[in-house]
Amino acid sequence: MPTAYLLLGSNLGNRTEYLRTAVQHLQETAGTVEAVSSLYETAAWGLTSQPAFLNQAVRLRTLLTPAQLLATCLAIEQRAGRERHVRWDARTLDVDILLYGDQVLDTPALQVPHPRLPERRFALVPLFEIAPEAVHPQLQCTVAELLVACPDSLAVERVG
């Protein structure tokens, strides 16, 4: 069964509850949640004039294909009231596929590994907590190596 690594994020409403509920829905609909990182808070990336985000990484064993997993993640976001208006806008819930086994996909709907993973500390720090030795299949670097080389200086603070 393939292992996927996801990043959950929320910066609207009860952020902690949105993340907790997302993990529960992933367990119910996508596979077996094997590990969940601590919660990390960071300032918004991209559109910076919005509330801070809580982020959390999840290790998921799944029989879903990457496309099926994406559809499941989008459904979980929608269930949480996610609205898409502007790229990188504030949101109740964001569920991104960071890695899916050793697969590399580049379609209009889905890119795996996540194309901006190496440049985002808010994704790498929680992922490092649960999978420091996971390998980025294109760059052939571990998550630990990506974190050391990450150019992003945005503070990522563990909050729970």
Q: Which residues are annotated as catalytic?
A: 82, 91, 94, 96
Give the distance between the most distant pair of CA atoms in the chain. 41
- DSSP string over the chain: --EEEEEEEE-SSSHHHHHHHHHHHHHHHTSEEEEEPPPEEE--SSS-SSPPEEEEEEEEE--S-HHHHHHHHHHHHHHTT---SSTT---S-EEEEEEETT--EE-SS-EES-TTGGG-HHHHHHHHHH-TT-EETTTTEEHHHHHHH------EEE--
